[in-house]
Amino acid sequence: MTLNQLRTLLAIADAELNISLAAARLNATQPALSRQLRQIEEELGFQVFVRHGKSLAQITRAGGEVLARARAVLGEVRNIEALAANHRRETRGTLRVATTQALGRFVLPAALGRLRARFGAVQLRLRPGGGEECLDLLERDEIDLALVSTEGERPAGDVALPLFRWNRALVALPGHPLAGGNAPLSLTQIAQYPLIAADTATQADFKMGRAFREAGIEPNIACTARDADTIKTFVRLDLGIGIVAEMALTPEDEDLVRLPAAHVFPGCITWAILRSDRIQRDYVFELLRELAPTLSREEIDRVIHGERGLDLTSRIAHWAA
Amino acid sequence: MTLNQLRTLLAIADAELNISLAAARLNATQPALSRQLRQIEEELGFQVFVRHGKSLAQITRAGGEVLARARAVLGEVRNIEALAANHRRETRGTLRVATTQALGRFVLPAALGRLRARFGAVQLRLRPGGGEECLDLLERDEIDLALVSTEGERPAGDVALPLFRWNRALVALPGHPLAGGNAPLSLTQIAQYPLIAADTATQADFKMGRAFREAGIEPNIACTARDADTIKTFVRLDLGIGIVAEMALTPEDEDLVRLPAAHVFPGCITWAILRSDRIQRDYVFELLRELAPTLSREEIDRVIHGERGLDLTSRIAHWAA
DNA sequence: ATCACTTACGAGCTGCGTAAGAATT
DNA sequence: AATTCTTACGCAGCTCGTAAGTGAT
């Protein structure tokens, strides 16, 4: 059994049993993979994939177990490689991050810019997605790090490091009826006008929506959008008041009026989720420190190295640009 | 990085940094291992072993981490091999058991004999040792299975399966003053005569010794021995009453008188200890079933596959030849 | 007819063991 | 002097890619 044979098995499984596709992904030829597959199946003594004629149809029961173990093997091999790269102060590498839109668009760029100073040659693979999607990618070991936000609660995942707190903000055109006053707005006042919110805001488990529901108020959601940029565009078209993460308001948005909303919507926390069974490259730690400057290296280490009970939510600060 | 390179690293580390010895154990030549070592160190970018002149002196800090991960990799590879061997109903294989003397001498042979019927070609590697030694060997992944006895309590180890209960028995020559009566013996009566016990009986944490101590009685331990055979020999020389595990009394010992001792000494339980991170060959399950006939395959499975809280001590029976 | 896997073949690389060399103890 | 690791060399085996073959849709 060789590592390449195991890599072949996983590549084929991950390419939906298409050997040619798997070969292309591994920068190899298709006959090479066919041979590797034949050899490992010979050694195992049974087929990993069920053949339908000349193509592969499905994974055998025993094959599935082998694949799971093969993932563990290659994961540990990657751990050794990460370990070694850290030790020799390697600055090259890949950083695979899955994150929600607001974080990827408004928070990560600055942090990654600072990261570039020390790790110039890191290839970033940024994958946008919803919170659950990001955690799924982590589960499938396709990313190193998931960045997700919650309305306070600890997200799933075996290593969850809180990074910073943030609130939602309302944005309106300067001419909007609510834009002038200085007094804090009530839910009732807000609900009198059309609102523009994120797609996720309509989900039942979202506490923001619950804030309205519990107050017995039916908000008037004029439209929803997938990203904060779109929301701001709609606000500029005078379609309503926008509800966005405060990080989404940049100096370029000075044409809009920002209305505080921390008192009506629940506070949010952004978390970094990692796998406890993977050794992280140093630049992952560096990125985490960029994102959570109030945490000490030691606190981050303790969480990442599996201290489950440790609650650092009281140690993190509010987000600052 | 190849599996052979990792195997080389571990072999050298396990051979106390003697490359020649490691090569012999791997059935390879010494230059081959030197080359493998040079190559992996080149790839890692740092030395795994500190050189003192031309020989290896110690393991570097980073090297130690690599070695630990390499063990994980090769352990998972062994898992795949076990998985495959089970699936193709392979009857050959190796069974590495560490066990205390009484179990290895009086209990295992019969069970292994029955095992031979289904798995004729299994190579047995039996390593005798004290209870702690056996657990250490398991910790170091040098055995598949440790068989140890306790005075009731669950031993250390992440998978501990209770197998059967047993009691100690007293053996005496037919002419001995205590050998005639039918009434159960008291500790006081026993302590009036020289005793022959196992080495372990003198250890402070042994409840058997505590039974005497708590009764305020100082037993007269005439001599101690490492194994039950020796104890019986001493009994035959009329040096005293022997205290042995009941399993150690065979039909061949009919020249000796057996005196029940269950009422004065604590009852014992024999456990199988396994690693939760290793896939076991089918014959390991088979051996466990031989040793614990009252447990169902499903109960054994549940304990082995990591159900930590499950307490099967109420499900096991008293030992029967 | 096209797509996908298999088989055949020749080239290049890798890894081994033998043998000789060098540095410690 | 003995031990142990390193270097050099030549051979064997492995794995690759190209190209042709085969079966299925």
Nearest to B77 among A65, A73, A88 (CB): A73
Which tens digit of pLDDT belongs to each residue from B18-41?
999 999 999 999 999 999 999 999
Which positions ≥6 away from B92 have C-beta within 8 Å? B121, B122, B123
Is residue B160 within a helix (H) or strand (E), and if so which, with residue range?
Answer: strand B159-166
Taking contacts as CB-CB distances below 8 angstroms, the residues of chain A near B5 are none
The span from the CA of A122 to the CA of A90, in Å, is 10
Q: How far is the CA of A311 from the C1' of D6 (A)?
A: 54
CB-nearest partner of A80 from B1, B76, B81:
B1
Q: How far is A162 from chain B (nearest CA, A)?
A: 28
Domain ranges of chain B: 3-84, 89-166+268-318, 168-260
Mean per-residue pLDDT for A120-134?
91
pLDDT at A6 over 90: yes
State pLDDT tens for residues A149-174: 998 889 988 899 999 999 999 999 98
Per-residue model confidence (pLDDT) at position B206: 66
B77-87: average pLDDT: 97
The CATH classification number of A89-166+268-318 equals 3.40.190.10
Q: Look at residue A202 in the predicted model and tell me its pLDDT.
A: 63
Most confident of A46-50, B181-185, B225-229: A46-50
pLDDT score of B131: 85
Give the CATH number of domain A168-260: 3.40.190.10
What is the CA B18 to C1' C17 distance in angstroms?
Answer: 19
**Positions on chain D within 7 A of a protein C-beta:** 4-8, 15-20, 22-25
Comparison of pLDDT for B223 and A287, the residue scoring more:
A287
pLDDT over threshold 60, residue B204: no
d(CA B303, CA B137): 20
- Please tell me what DSSP assigns to residue A279: P
Position with higher pLDDT, B219 vs B164 = B164
Asked if B21 and B12 touch (Cβ cutoff 8 Å), the reply is: no
Instruction: Band the pLDDT of A321: cuts 50, 70, 90.
Output: confident
Please give the pLDDT value at position A305: 86
pLDDT tens, position by position, B88-128: 999 999 999 999 988 999 999 999 999 999 998 999 999 99
Confidence (pLDDT) at B309: 83
For the residues A31-43, what does the mean pLDDT come to? 95
Chain B residues inside the 8 Å CB shell of A276: none
Quick check: B225 pLDDT over 80? yes
Tell me the mean pLDDT in the region A72-86.
97
pLDDT at A204 > cutoff 60: no
- CB contacts < 8 Å between A and B, how many? 77
So what's the pLDDT on residue A263? 85
Burial class (CB in 10 A: 0-12, 13-18, 19+), A9: buried
- Contact A70/B79, CB-based, under 8 Å? no
| pLDDT, mean of residues B55-59 | 91
Q: Choose between A264 and A5: higher pLDDT.
A: A5
Q: Which residues of chain B make contact with A70, given a CB cutoff of 8 A?
A: 80
Q: How confident is the model at residue B45 (pLDDT cuts 50, 70, 90)?
A: very high
Mean pLDDT of chain A: 91
Nucleotide nearest to B54 (CA to C1'): D5
Q: Report pLDDT for B247.
A: 94
Tell me if A89-166+268-318 shares its fold with A168-260: yes
Average pLDDT of chain B to the nearest whole number = 91
Q: Is the pLDDT of residue A217 over 90?
A: no
pLDDT bin (cut points 50, 70, 90) of residue A47 is very high
Q: Which of B96, B205, B203, B207 is nearest to B147 (CA)?
A: B96
Predicted confidence band at B268 (pLDDT cuts at 50, 70, 90)?
A: very high
Is residue A292 very low, low, confident or very high in pLDDT (cuts 50, 70, 90)? very high
Would you place residue B202 in the very low, low, confident or very high pLDDT band (cuts 50, 70, 90)? low
User: Model confidence at A207, in pLDDT bands (50, 70, 90)?
Assistant: low
Residue B205, pLDDT above cutoff 70: no
User: Closest Cα partner for A69 from A9, A125, A129?
Assistant: A9
pLDDT of residue A71: 96
Q: Per the CB < 8 Å rule, is A84 touching B44?
A: yes
- Strand residues in chain A grouped as ranges (E): 49-52, 55-59, 93-99, 122-128, 145-150, 159-166, 168-172, 195-198, 221-225, 241-245, 257-260, 268-274, 317-318
How many whole angstroms from its chain centre is CA B73? 25
Nearest Cα of chain A lies from the Cα of B106 at a distance, in angstroms, of 37
> Least CA distance to A4: which residue of chain B?
B2
CA A130 vs CA A50, A126, A127, A137, B284: distances in Å: 34, 13, 10, 11, 46
User: What is the fold of A3-84?
Assistant: Arc Repressor Mutant, subunit A (1.10.10)
Long-range contacts, A202-205 (Cβ 8 Å, 24+): none
CA separation for the pair B28, B15 (Å, rounded) = 14
Q: What band does A126 get if pLDDT is binned at 50, 70 and 90?
A: very high
Contact between residue B247 and residue B166 where contact means Cβ atoms under 8 Å apart = yes
Question: How do residues B59-81 score in pLDDT, each as one tens digit?
Answer: 999 999 999 999 999 999 999 99
**How confident is residue A131, by pLDDT bands cut at 50, 70 and 90?**
confident
pLDDT of residue A162: 96
Q: Which is more confident, B26 or B265?
A: B26
Mean pLDDT within B132-144 = 94
Q: Which residue of chain B has the CA closest to A63?
A: B84
Instruction: Give the number of residues written for chain B.
Output: 321
Beta bridge partners of A55: A52
